Amino acid sequence: MKTIIHLILIVISIVFYSCEKTIIITRPAYLSRPSIQCMLEPDSLPVVYLNRTVPFFNENQLFKDLIIRNARIKIESSTGTDSLKLDSVYDKSFCQYNFYYKGNIPVQLNNTYTLTVTSGALTYTAFCQTNQLKPAIDSINYTPEFFDLYGGHEGVIVYFKDIPT
């Protein structure tokens, strides 16, 4: 009986006298860098997303806070030079505008393109070719339910043979 009383007293003292310690973690300095994403699809206008990176544990950011404004973006090819301008579209999923740079000259098939992004004193250059053929769709199918990271969905399954290169 005496040991049971001792155990009860120990449990009660642990519950009432448990310790809590606040640990403050200082984040290391973070150097934001530009993130450049460009979409060149034949017969479509070029689109460039130019955003700044933020630390992993950063507070929620709005798209308008991430866009790098006043950048000079141009795409050169044998068909001419296209200067991209800042544009936006309202994203209903996030209830805010999504910003990007958009060109005026449609991308042509079988052409070589040079992207030049200048922001402040920094300049970035990239090259690409639009000589990849579109794959032929062999068949399509429908699935009423499939699961991924975001839960269950329905969807269309597209079957095609990947073209080498």
2, two tokens: 């005496």
pLDDT for residue 157: 92
Answer whether residue 73 shows pLDDT above 90: yes
- Could you tell me the pTM of the whole model? 0.69
**pLDDT at residue 16 is higher than 70:** no
pLDDT higher than threshold 90 for residue 37: yes
3-state secondary structure of 146: strand
Confidence of residue 44 (pLDDT cuts 50, 70, 90): very high
The predicted pLDDT at position 162 comes to: 83
Q: Is the pLDDT of residue 144 over 80?
A: yes
Mean pLDDT within 51-75: 88
pLDDT tier at 163, thresholds 50, 70, 90: confident
**Given this model, what pLDDT does residue 18 score?**
63
Q: Provide the pLDDT for residue 101.
A: 97
Mean pLDDT of 24-51: 91
Quick check: 1 pLDDT over 80?
A: no
Would you list the DSSP string of 64-117? HHHB--S-EEEEEETTEEEEEEEEEEEETTTTEEEEEEE-SSPPPSS-EEEEEE
Please give the domain boundaries of the chain with CATH numbers for all domains. Answer: 34-132 (2.60.40)
How many Cβ atoms from other residues are within 10 Å of residue 119's Cβ? 17
Q: Which helix (H) or strand (E) holds 128?
A: strand 122-129
